[in-house]
Amino acid sequence: VLTAAHCFSGSVNSSDYQVHLGELTVTLSPHFSTVKRIIMYTGSPGPPGSSGDIALVQLSSPVALSSQVQPVCLPEASADFYPGMQCWVTGWGYTGEGEPLKPPYNLQEAKVSVVDVKTCSQAYNSPNGSLIQPDMLCARGPGDACQDDSGGPLVCQVAGTWQQAGVVSWGEGCGRPDRPGVYARVTAYVNWIHHHIPEAGGSGMQGLPWAPLLAALFWPSLFLLLVSGVLMAKYWLSSPSHAASEL
Contact positions vs ligand 4AZ (CB under 6 A): 144-147, 149-150, 168, 170-171, 174, 181
Active site residue 16: no
Phi, psi of 192 (to 5 degrees): -65, -40
Active site residue 126: no
Residue whose CB is less far from ligand 4AZ, 6 or 194? 6
**Cβ atoms 97, 146 nearer than 8 A:** yes
**Shortest CB 123 distance to ligand 4AZ, Å:** 12
What is the enclosing helix (H) or strand (E) of 220? helix 211-238
Residue whose CB is less far from ligand 4AZ, 137 or 168? 168
Q: Is 73 exposed, middle or buried (0-12, 13-18, 19+ CB in 10 A)?
A: middle
- Gap between the Cα atoms of 109 and 88, Å rounded: 7
**Shortest CB 171 distance to ligand 4AZ, Å:** 3
- Gap between the Cα atoms of 133 and 135, Å rounded: 5
Active site residue 6: yes
Q: Which of 6, 135, 149, 194 is catalytic?
A: 6
Q: Which of 51, 113, 150, 169 is catalytic?
A: 150
**Shortest CB 25 distance to ligand 4AZ, Å:** 20
Q: Where are the alpha helices (DSSP H) in 111-205?
A: 117-123, 190-196
Residue whose CB is less far from ligand 4AZ, 145 or 200? 145
**Catalytic residue list:** 6, 53, 150
